[in-house]
Amino acid sequence: MPAVDVVDETFLVVPPAALAAVFSDRSNWSRFWPDLRLSVYVDRGDAGIRWTVQGALTGTMEVWLEPMLDGTLLHYFLRADPPTPYKRLKDRLAAIRTRQVAAKAIAIDLKLELEGGRPPGVAP
């Protein structure tokens, strides 16, 4: 089991292609994950991307873009280990929490940017 195992889901009222374009743009990777080096091992087009991860963590990461209702459910997965194992449970939990908060921040930032201020209940 990896030391860091993060799963997140956020609904965005945008088509999967709009999110796929953001995640396939390599210039965004260092903005979203500045301490990680990513290598694509499966590009699923509008369904998302799977990467191997190196740097501050080593493992795998995925965004899965699931069409839902009038938008997309953005699924995020990160399963990785640090270069040196955590010595204390407290350190491991802090690392997991940091990655959880970062994942949600990416999703919320994209929601605000791509939905363009659309009020709830209004068609995209």
Task: Give the model confidence (pLDDT) of 52-88 as tens digits.
Answer: 999 999 999 999 999 998 899 999 999 999 999 999 9
Q: Report how many domains make up the chain.
A: 1
Q: Report which DSSP code applies to 57.
A: S
Does residue 120 form part of some domain?
no
Which is nearest to 45 in space by CA: 74, 24, 67, 69? 24
pTM of the entire structure? 0.92
Does residue 23 form part of some domain?
yes
Does residue 121 form part of some domain?
no
Place of tokens 């903005």: 31
Positions of the chain with pLDDT under 70: 120, 123-124
Range of the domain at 88: 4-115
